[in-house]
Structure 1
Amino acid sequence: MPRALLVSGVIRDKPELANRHAPCHHAAGGTMEALGWIEQTRLSAFVREDFYAYFILLIVHAWGMAFLVGGGVAVSLRVLGVASGARMERFAAVFPFMGLGAAMAIVSGLGLLAGYPAKALTNWVFALKFLCLISAALLIWRIARDAFPLAARGEPLPRRAKWLAAAALALWLGGVACGKLLLYTNHVLFSTDRWVP
């Protein structure tokens, strides 16, 4: 069975299923209309209907998250005392990879969002994922700004740096967990779907 039939062409190719779709009344009408407009764009249709596009975007997104979160976790663990024999300032080498990972995750994530905007933007877990990842990245930036110069001079790190690292580590893990939960917590797939509690 072609993927387009299962994902984006249910109503077009299976008219007998049309009665399961109705406007979602749990979100502002204007919002759902805007999401419906996005779903009608060529980019959205391409992401949903092309056999390879969606999966390529998923793979690129996974690689990007691996670079971003992996680098952030490595820095957090080092500040917490793991691999204490390694000079902390050398961990600054992971920042370009984190930047690359962030770019990959953002670009591929926008593509995935274009394919199923209602699925993501009506799910509070999606917002929580962003909150976790952005907060974690800001904490890593703060650690790099404050703690790395101290480590380069051989000075002990303040306790605050370890608290920041612990918080960043928890946020990285929370962001990854939210990303996985997105597969199971959406209430609608399209802007025309009925809200499923």
Structure 2
Amino acid sequence: MEDFLFSLEDSALGMYVSSSIWGYPIVLSLHALGMAALVGVSLMLAFRALGFAKVIPVTSLASYWRIAQVAFIINLLSGVGLFLGSASELAYNIPFLIKIVLVFVGLFLTQRLVNVCINGDGDVKKSDRNLAAWSVIAWVGALITGRLIGYVL
């Protein structure tokens, strides 16, 4: 496994991210922008489902979800780049592993919320509010564990 992780770090992208003056800042900036859009839209939808801003129809958030999908692609690609730059460390970093799980949980819950609220009739039910609350917990957890990656080994 170690040899595989080191080979990832030695790849062209891994070397660019870890060794060039511009690699890490560019990829990290893309990751931050993608995260802001993805998590921002996801939280906006979740808070709307929780009852905030009731004057805004939940179905009007559909176009924002398309932006979040593009942001996810940006985050996926930039996240892979960041991982390649430090694969041998990140593969064993507990906050990183928890973050990855929470991101996929957040994506799953948010996609279900989109399917129920935006693609449905626009009516927000109590079960949708529970889904939204768990979505908020997952995204906030992913943000916190993401920040902890650099500080916890």
Using the size of structure 1 for normalisation, the TM-score is: 0.73
Q: How does 1:47-126 map to 2 (within 5 A)?
A: 47-126=17-96
Letter in 1 for 2:115: R
Given the alignment, which residue of 134, 146, 150 partners 1:167? 134
In 1, Cα distance between equivalents of 2:117 and 2:90 = 36
In 2, Cα distance between equivalents of 1:173 and 1:80 = 15
Letter in 1 for 2:75: A
Q: Does 1:179 align with 2:146?
A: yes
Q: Does 1:135 align with 2:102?
A: no
Q: How many pairs align?
A: 152
Q: Which has the larger radius of gyration?
A: 1
Given the alignment, which residue of 125, 131, 149 partners 1:158? 125
Identity %: 25
Q: What's the offset of the Cα at 1:146?
A: 1.9
Using the size of structure 2 for normalisation, the TM-score is: 0.93
| Runs of at least 4 residues off by over 4 Å | none
Letter in 2 for 1:66: A
In 2, Cα distance between equivalents of 1:45 and 1:163 = 43
Match of 1:8 in 2: none
Structure with the larger helix share = 2
